Amino acid sequence: MNTISVWRATAPEAGFPMLQEETTADVVIVGGGITGVTLALNLVEQGTSVVLLEARNIGFGSTGNSTGNLYETVSRGIHRVVNQWGGDVAHAITTARRTALEQIEQRVRRFNIPCGFRRCKLYRYATTENAQSTIEKEYQASLKAGLTAHFEKTLLAPLPRPQGPAMVLNNQAQFHPQAYIHGLAGEAASRGCRIFENSMALEVDPDRRVVRTANGQVTAREVVLATHSPKGIHLVQAEMIVNREYGLATRIARDSFPDGIFWGSGIERLSVRSVDVDDATFFVCVGEEHKTGQEDATINLDRLEAAAQGNFNVSEIAYRWSAQNYSAADGLPYIGRDAAGCFIATGFETDGLIYGTLAASLIADKIAGRDNVLAPIVKATRFSPLKGAKGVAEETATVLKSLIKDYVTDRETIPLSQLMPGKAAIVKFENVSLAAYRETDGTLFAVSPVCTHMKCRVHWNGVEKSWDCPCHGSRFAPDGTVIEGPATEPLQRHFLPGH
Ligand SMILES: Cc1cc2nc3c(=O)[nH]c(=O)nc-3n(C[C@H](O)[C@H](O)[C@H](O)COP(=O)(O)OP(=O)(O)OC[C@H]3O[C@@H](n4cnc5c(N)ncnc54)[C@H](O)[C@@H]3O)c2cc1C
Ligand code: FES
């Protein structure tokens, strides 16, 4: 099955060249998602010279695989922030998110970016009786966090009849995320930012401030790792839970679905919306989150399809996709300098189109020596064991469980000869365990199953045909190449001629 998001399928390629030289800049940004591209534009607008390196193409990461919703609150509930950090911090977060949303709107208008930006309402509703108390709790917390929330009795068809009233935030927004960052990237490039695609950073030397790719390198005053999860080994990785979530889009008649962001909680947690792209309208449905590398991805995607069909009578799915999110145990993102002196921006949960935009403002302020009120709150080197204790313990347990279970029990293996075309498994070959995938034409890819980040063992993802690590979310292609996550080195490839 081919997976591609409705956003990536319906936006033209950006078409930037590959880095093939040694060069210098004031700032080198690694990563061309919303964080990296927005920062690139902020910096060139303030007269700073910038090189941006993107491993694949602009929007390849979570930005081009998101839902494209923009809101002042946070999707897992502002009540979590209020409970853990208090009303003042929650207020600071929603205020900064509102400013970031306004900045996106201003840029869409100023640069005339054709990304379908529209203001709309956000509805949070319960589909079961049990979930209704969470909506009540969220309403009270929203008021404490300075949001203007109200209730509406019901939702327009074809949305389900909620259990109790839906909580509503007015004046939120939606756009086409891939079209937006392509527009921003074009504006940054036209102001002198040098953007390179297919230019993966293979090595980052934080002391010498050098970033090396296969065919070139950049030396800069500042290094920004806008890679969603920072590359290499960072303390924050021990404090983040890594999840994958699934999306699908299906064609519908224009105006057959109401405008808005719709978040339903109950047995399923679904986020749905519609989007007009050229002459077509799509219904978009996102959900079925699970920890990366810990569940059968095929089952989760099937469940999402069943939920979309059951709740919204969806037929003929045009696009299916999946993407990763990183949640900080204490509920706030990590933005700023890390212990090695590079800038990082991570822990955005599923709210990073806005967090990425505000991270770009914060980092640009830091580089220019300006104060930023949010900087101390989201500091990348903070250590808040009490606020994040449960999440840290959960994540540490996940890592230990993966390490111990996979090493002690040496997961079930089959002989290589039994690996059928189109299948993947941990196989035994001459007493060595290998992570093997046989393509439908019989071609074999065999790699080491030991993740190059911190040595957990990878698990097969049958939807995206990748080896995913349960510990910190590194993902690898069947030939071992790094797709995403903190790992920088590929899985070691084994060539087995004749197999
Ligand atoms: C299913 C889903 C739906 C979501 N929906 C929403 C939503 O509606 N609203 C919202 O606000 N948030 C949403 N999010 C969250 C949001 O998509 C992310 O938080 C946000 O896109 C992160 O942006 P980023 O630029 O930091 O990272 P990314 O978009 O992941 O970009 C990082 C880039 O770095 C590149 N890269 C990685 N390693 C290297 C390297 N070594 N060298 C060079 N480049 C490298 C990658 O290829 C990638 O393009 C959603 C997330 C998921 C999973
Ligand atoms: S991602 Fe950290 S061990 Fe694999």
Span from the CA of 477 to the centroid of ligand 2 (angstroms): 15
Question: Which tokens is 91 given?
Answer: 């207020």
Between CA 14 and CA 26, with CA 20 as vertex, the angle to 5 degrees is 80
Residue 227 CB–ligand 1 contact under 6 Å: yes
User: Residue 351: its pLDDT value, please?
Assistant: 98
| Alpha carbon distances (Å) from 293 to 280, 328, 341, 386 | 35, 18, 30, 27
**CA-nearest residue, atom 1 of ligand 2:** 472
Q: How far is CA 395 from the centre of its chain?
A: 18
Span from the CA of 460 to the centroid of ligand 2 (angstroms): 14
Residue 67 CB–ligand 1 contact under 6 Å: yes
Which domains does the chain show, CATH number per domain? 414-494 (2.102.10.10)
Task: Name 468's Cβ contacts closer than 8 Å, sequence gap at least 6.
Answer: 244, 292, 293, 297, 458, 459, 460, 461, 474, 475, 476
Residue 218 CB–ligand 1 contact under 6 Å: no
Residue 158: is the preceding peptide bond cis (ω within 30°)?
yes
User: Residue 498: its pLDDT value, please?
Assistant: 80
User: Residue 406: its pLDDT value, please?
Assistant: 55
Q: Which ligand is nearest to the CA of 229?
A: 1
Contact status, residue 218 vs residue 19, Cβ threshold 8 Å? yes
Which residue, chain included where needed, has tokens 């061309």? 32
Span from the CA of 362 to the centroid of ligand 2 (angstroms): 28
Q: Which ligand is nearest to the CA of 300?
A: 1
User: Residue 235: its pLDDT value, please?
Assistant: 86
**CA-nearest residue, atom 3 of ligand 2:** 454
Residue 286 CB–ligand 1 contact under 6 Å: yes
Q: Counting Cβ atoms within 10 Å, is residue 133 exposed (0-12), middle (13-18) or buried (19+)?
A: exposed
Span from the CA of 62 to the centroid of ligand 1 (angstroms): 3
| Atom of ligand 2 at shortest range from CA of 487 | 1
Which residue, chain included where needed, has tokens 């840029």? 107
For 42-100, what is each residue's pLDDT tens digit? 999 999 999 999 999 999 999 999 999 999 999 999 999 999 999 999 999 999 999 99
User: Residue 374: its pLDDT value, please?
Assistant: 97
Residues of the chain with pLDDT under 50: none
Residue type, 260: G
The count of residues in the chain is: 499
User: Residue 314: its pLDDT value, please?
Assistant: 84
